[in-house]
Amino acid sequence: MTDVDDLRAVLDDIAAAHSRPLDGGAPRAPGELWDELESLGLTLVGADEGRGGGGGTVEHAIEVAAAVGRHALPLPIAETAVVASWLLDSAGLDLPPGPLTAAGFARADRVTAIPTGAGGVHLRGVVRAVPWAREAAHVALVADGPDGCLVGLVEPADLVLAEGENLAGEPRDDAELDLDAPVWAPLPGSVTGAGIRARAALSRSVQILGALERTRDITMEFVQQREQFGRPIIRFQAVAQSVAVLAAEVALTRAAVTRCLRSGASNGPVWEFACGAAKVTASGAAATVAAIAHQVHGAVGITAEYPLHRLTSRLLSWQDDDGTEDEWAAVLGRSLPELGPDPWAALTAGEVLG
């Protein structure tokens, strides 16, 4: 598997070609972009090669999620690469082609797996705001079975969907379940509900970080080029102060995500705490950065041709996905004793996650 920096360059090149074709025509359809990423093994980059994955690391999968935010890609790439494929891989299931999404692990979800006489399971319950449910090829559903958690693989056509979308127009569909799961397997004891929620929160935090960093770059370029009274607006104290706050929020989010990736393992209380802290930081930064960026840009920020609104609409949507800032702050407060007698030492130790 290629180096993370090389992977970032490849993703940036593909996304740029998708949004700005060399022939000057319209952007390519999302399905074409997915096909190209899938042909390169990037949609399943963090999963076991023996099950159809790309054989990379968590960091590779996270970099794919970051590209979603950086380029506002209209595809469930992060859901596929970071969450759903990991769930299936952890359960020892082969990974199917096509876009994936995952559900059943949120605190509000209630999915029960009922054993059938044929050795299968029947899934019953309701899941809310499933990302990209109607556009995915398969949904990985986490359910409570008689002997622990399991994951079942179902097709959206077998679900009763109530279609919805977020502020950015991305599908967020509710689903009722009352069906047999043709493909399913128990999850190992090391994969807990808290760990799944933490991984989903990390995925969303990285998407937010990608959008934050591009929003920062666009804003910095704008304030240096836009002039009022014969000088760039960055020279005005109020603008400079606002941009400094924006940049600080982005830097804090980058630090929080990096801390999560350096927590030493992909499960356990330290990693889960670090993922929650990253989501708290990212969600808080999303609202602040979006507000400052639009204040600085004025009306140009919402014009169809300018990219800012495509980033900020996602920031304002993703800040509440996979747990709001307040929800994760409450989780952090309750889980602090689990870090041991010296929480600071536990949180600042560890090596890069690979």
Residue 338, domain CATH: 1.20.140.10
* pLDDT in the model for residue 264: 56
* pLDDT in the model for residue 23: 46
92 and 68 housed in the same domain: yes
Q: Is residue 327 in some structural domain? A: yes
152 and 243 housed in the same domain: no
Q: Is residue 142 in some structural domain? A: yes
Please give the Cα distance from 247 to 223 (Å, whole number): 13
pLDDT digits (tens, 9 = 90+) for 307-334: 999 999 999 999 999 999 999 999 999 9
The mean-pLDDT minimum among 3-7, 71-75, 232-236, 243-247 falls in: 3-7
255 and 299 housed in the same domain: yes
Residue 288 has pLDDT above 60, yes or no: yes
Please give the Cα distance from 4 to 42 (Å, whole number): 12
The CATH number that applies at residue 153 is 2.40.110.10
Q: Is residue 353 in some structural domain? A: no
Q: Is residue 212 in some structural domain? A: yes
Which of 15, 84, 68, 23 shows the shortest CA–CA distance to 315?
68
Residue 2 has pLDDT above 60, yes or no: no
Domain boundary, last residue among 155, 186, 217: 186
Number of domains in the chain: 2
275 and 182 housed in the same domain: no
49 and 86 housed in the same domain: yes
Q: Is residue 121 in some structural domain? A: yes
Between the alpha carbon of residue 136 and those of residues 48, 173, 179, the distances in Å are 21, 11, 18
Domain boundary, last residue among 186, 208, 227: 186
182 and 225 housed in the same domain: no
Q: What percentage of the chain reaches a pLDDT higher than 90?
A: 62
Q: Is residue 9 in some structural domain? A: yes
The two beta strands, 138-145 and 172-181, are: unpaired
Containing structural domain, residue 247: 193-348
Please report, as a single letter, which amino acid is at residue 350: G
Element (H, E) at 138: strand 138-145
- Which of the 8 DSSP states describes residue 191? -
pLDDT band of residue 352 (cuts 50, 70, 90) is: very low
143 and 283 housed in the same domain: no
138 and 199 housed in the same domain: no
Domain boundary, last residue among 158, 186, 214: 186
Q: Is residue 354 in some structural domain? A: no
Q: Which two tokens stand for residue 179?
A: 């069906």
Q: Is residue 266 in some structural domain? A: yes
pLDDT digits (tens, 9 = 90+) for 119-175: 889 999 999 999 999 999 999 999 999 888 999 999 999 999 999 999 999 999 999
236 and 320 housed in the same domain: yes
Element (H, E) at 52: none
210 and 182 housed in the same domain: no
218 and 170 housed in the same domain: no
178 and 202 housed in the same domain: no
Mean pLDDT of 77-83: 93
* pLDDT in the model for residue 68: 86
